[in-house]
């Protein structure tokens, strides 16, 4: 007998109104366990078992009921989010759904700015490279302390991200193409495009990345003002030593 068949029989037994409270409780526990197995079986059949496992773990770690499952948006895409990463699927996966009385978040409002901005393609690492990076850089923590997060730098001018989240994102979308904003990309949300959908990954605001971003923004403002002055006066603009130093720092920043 398959898990799906056993689940059908258990649900039929749950409809028996004469069962005592203990029996109803045990049947509910059994139904939940079989439901998980049926989803796992479906994931194996569609070849998406690893992706489903990642997303189910994400649901368990979510701190709100409205994020503890998937839902379908206004465009018919299956959605999932935990507040740090978000996914939209063209073809749905066998995932748990959020409770019927929970109102899902409007993900399109979060995705639209990333879709519309001018993006730059990031040279994405392979799954193997990220796995090795995590293994080699996992910090040790004392007993009882919160598990430390390994951070992965996507490169000069690009964001710093949670390495485990990056690994899981690449597991869900193995063909993922990663993008950052062209301007001030170090702190931008990572926009991900795949054949079966898209995703977002929030950056980590590291001190060096923040400093570099602020420096670049200041240099851009100074350059814009210098160009404006030149246009108005039709003469060659002059820059202070501070302006020149800022330009140099912004051009040579390594993060």
Instruction: Report if residue 40 sits inside a domain.
Output: yes
Instruction: Name the domain boundary from 187, 219, 242.
Output: 187
> Checking DSSP bridges between strand 71-72 and strand 78-81, what pairing results, if any?
antiparallel
In this structure, the answer to whether residues 165 and 219 fall within a common structural domain is no
Instruction: Report if residue 63 sits inside a domain.
Output: no
Can you give the pTM of this predicted structure? Answer: 0.70
Instruction: Report if residue 21 sits inside a domain.
Output: yes
Structural domain boundaries enclosing 247: 208-252
In this structure, the answer to whether residues 181 and 128 fall within a common structural domain is yes
Give the pLDDT confidence of 173-215 residue by residue, as tens digits: 999 999 999 887 888 999 999 999 999 999 998 778 877 777 7
Instruction: Report if residue 61 sits inside a domain.
Output: no
Give the pLDDT confidence of 63-91 residue by residue, as tens digits: 888 999 999 999 999 999 999 999 999 99
**Per-residue confidence (pLDDT) for residue 172, from 0 to 100:** 95
Total count of domains within the chain: 3
Give the pLDDT confidence of 160-175 residue by residue, as tens digits: 999 999 999 999 999 9
Instruction: Report if residue 94 sits inside a domain.
Output: no
Give the pLDDT confidence of 12-37 residue by residue, as tens digits: 777 776 777 777 777 777 777 766 66
In this structure, the answer to whether residues 128 and 181 fall within a common structural domain is yes
Instruction: Report if residue 23 sits inside a domain.
Output: yes
**Per-residue confidence (pLDDT) for residue 3, from 0 to 100:** 56
Instruction: Report if residue 166 sits inside a domain.
Output: yes
Q: Would the pLDDT of 237 be above 60? A: no
């Amino acid at each position: 007998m398959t898990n799906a068949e056993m689940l059908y029989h258990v649900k039929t037994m749950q409809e028996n109104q004469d069962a005592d409270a203990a029996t109803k409780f045990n049947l509910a526990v059994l139904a939940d366990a079989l439901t998980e197995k049926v989803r796992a079986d479906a994931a194996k059949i569609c070849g998406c078992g690893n992706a489903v496992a990642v997303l189910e773990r994400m649901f368990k770690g979510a701190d709100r009921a409205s994020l503890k499952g998937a839902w379908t948006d206004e465009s018919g895409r299956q959605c999932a989010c935990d507040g740090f990463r978000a996914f939209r699927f063209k073809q749905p996966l066998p995932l748990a759904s959020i409770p019927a009385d929970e109102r899902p978040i409007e993900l399109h409002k979060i995705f639209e700015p990333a879709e519309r901005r001018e993006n730059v393609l990031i040279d994405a690492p392979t799954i193997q490279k990220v796995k090795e990076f995590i293994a080699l850089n996992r910090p040790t923590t004392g007993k009882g302390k919160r598990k430390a997060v390994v951070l992965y730098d996507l490169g000069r001018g690009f964001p710093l991200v949670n390495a485990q989240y990056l690994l899981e994102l690449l597991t869900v979308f193995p063909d993922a193409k990663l993008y950052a904003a062209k301007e001030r990309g170090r702190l931008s949300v990572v926009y991900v495009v795949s054949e079966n959908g898209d995703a977002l990954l929030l950056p980590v605001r590291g001190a060096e990345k923040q400093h570099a971003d602020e420096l670049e923004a200041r240099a851009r403002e100074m350059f814009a003002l210098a160009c404006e002055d030149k246009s108005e006066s039709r003469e060659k603009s002059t820059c202070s030593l501070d302006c020149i130093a800022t330009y140099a720092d912004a051009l040579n920043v390594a993060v």
